[in-house]
């Protein structure tokens, strides 16, 4: 009787094992979370990087753990210039992309980085999300999907200004200076005033300023603070160069298509919430950054009305030149420019 009992136990265990092995793959994996890798070029100390990680945590909570994210900040997975290709090819599932680092990719996306195009961050990021992700103007999303990525939501930076190793009292002082800018349009702008544009990825700016291969950096106030540029550059010129709010968080298209619809919806909606939180952060931290850098010995400068007006006229002229050039290549840039400016007015009310 004892041996028969043991045989029964063994048989039951064997049948249970066979049943588990032969169960449909979906039944075996349905409780296993979807793990997605995020590639970011900024260090985690950066407030935008922290906000992006917060977006990921919100998606994890909303999906009750069905989605998990592995976050790779500070170029630990991909360098800034590699993020688009690395996301498209699947090295990362999600990438924090700056189109200006890859100007040949989706040329229409350069709209959001045009000098001075976005005077205020909150209406600009709302406008960028609406233009790219919704409505009848589908050129952005269609182009990016053909290239193998899905645009998830916009991010951006606030208050583009210049931090420099020497004072810049007016436009004439730009002549002969080596200034870090990115993309194709910013070099045209500063070259028009006699400066030399230098393309340097953000993580290399500190060293370039310290070595003298850069005299100035066009960047936003809080990022200058977070990267401790004040240690090597003691002058900050506040001239309202805009708050570019159209860089995109992108996702590998194949990975996106495999996601359940409710997970896709969670990512989209939490992306819109991210835009509002990031706007709140920027509004507060700009003033905090100015105060902190002043305490570190940084001097803040402004320009008179004549210099500001001359600069603004040059920036607006550049928008039209860019749009006409894109139009001639079959890209509806003038229409995108018109819509983006209108949407900023709409969201600025």
In a domain, 182, yes or no: yes
Contacts of 334 (CB under 8 A, 6+ apart): 323, 324, 326, 327
What is the CATH number for 75? 3.40.190.170
Domain check: are 37 and 124 in the same one? Answer: yes
In a domain, 99, yes or no: yes
| Per-residue pLDDT tens digits for 205-256 | 999 999 999 999 998 888 899 889 999 999 999 988 999 898 999 999 999 9
Domain check: are 303 and 265 in the same one? Answer: no
| Per-residue pLDDT tens digits for 88-146 | 999 999 999 999 889 899 999 999 999 999 999 999 999 999 999 998 999 999 999 99
Domain check: are 251 and 150 in the same one? Answer: yes
Domain count within the chain: 2
Domain check: are 74 and 141 in the same one? Answer: yes
In a domain, 40, yes or no: yes
Domain check: are 249 and 239 in the same one? Answer: no
User: Considering the entire predicted model, what is its pTM?
Assistant: 0.83
Domain check: are 249 and 236 in the same one? Answer: no
Q: Which domain holds residue 80?
A: 33-157+244-284
Per-residue pLDDT at 126: 97
In a domain, 218, yes or no: yes
Domain check: are 248 and 198 in the same one? Answer: no
Domain check: are 73 and 147 in the same one? Answer: yes
Domain check: are 114 and 227 in the same one? Answer: no
* Residue 201 neighbours by CB distance under 10 Å: 16
Domain check: are 145 and 266 in the same one? Answer: yes
In a domain, 312, yes or no: yes
Contact indicator for 322, 185 with CB cutoff of 8 Å: yes
**How far apart, in whole angstroms, are the C-alpha atoms of residue 344 and residue 342?**
5
How far, CA to CA in Å, does 64 sit from each of 262, 269, 297? Answer: 12, 16, 48
Domain check: are 49 and 119 in the same one? Answer: yes
| Per-residue pLDDT tens digits for 247-286 | 999 999 999 999 999 999 999 999 999 999 999 999 888 8
Domain check: are 266 and 143 in the same one? Answer: yes
Q: Count the residues in the chain.
A: 349
Per-residue pLDDT at 166: 96
In a domain, 139, yes or no: yes
């Amino acid at each position: 009787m004892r041996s028969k009992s043991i045989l029964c136990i063994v048989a039951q265990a064997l049948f249970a094992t066979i049943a588990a092995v032969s169960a449909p793959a979906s039944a075996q994996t349905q409780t296993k979370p979807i793990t997605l890798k995020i590639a970011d070029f900024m260090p985690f100390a950066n407030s935008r990087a922290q906000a992006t990680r917060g977006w990921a945590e919100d998606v994890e909570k909303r999906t009750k753990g069905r989605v998990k994210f592995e976050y790779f900040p500070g170029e630990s997975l991909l360098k800034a210039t590699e993020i688009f290709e690395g996301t498209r090819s699947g090295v990362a599932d999600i990438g924090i992309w700056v189109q200006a680092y890859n100007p040949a990719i989706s040329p229409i996306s350069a709209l959001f980085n045009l000098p001075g195009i976005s005077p205020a961050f909150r209406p600009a990021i709302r406008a960028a999300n609406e233009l790219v992700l919704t409505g009848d103007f589908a050129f952005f999303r269609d182009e990016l999907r053909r290239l193998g990525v899905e645009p998830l939501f916009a991010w951006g930076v606030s208050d583009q200004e210049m931090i420099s190793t020497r004072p810049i009292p007016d436009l004439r002082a730009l002549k002969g200076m080596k200034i870090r800018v990115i993309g194709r349009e910013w070099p045209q702008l500063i070259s028009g005033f006699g400066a030399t544009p230098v393309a340097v990825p953000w993580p290399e700016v500190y060293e370039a300023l310290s070595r003298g291969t850069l005299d100035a950096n066009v960047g936003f106030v809080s990022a200058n603070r977070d990267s401790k540029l004040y240690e090597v550059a003691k002058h900050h010129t506040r001239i309202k160069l805009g708050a570019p709010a159209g860089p995109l968080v992108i996702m590998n298209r194949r990975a996106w298509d495999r996601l359940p619809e409710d997970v896709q919806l969670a990512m989209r909606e939490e992306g819109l919430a991210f835009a509002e939180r990031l706007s709140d952060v920027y509004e507060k931290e700009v003033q905090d950054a100015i105060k902190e850098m002043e305490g570190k010995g940084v001097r803040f400068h402004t320009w008179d009305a004549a210099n500001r007006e001359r600069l603004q006229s040059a920036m607006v002229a550049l928008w039209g030149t860019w749009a006409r050039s894109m139009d001639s290549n079959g890209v509806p840039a003038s229409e995108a420019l018109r819509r983006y400016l209108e949407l900023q007015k709409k969201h600025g009310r």
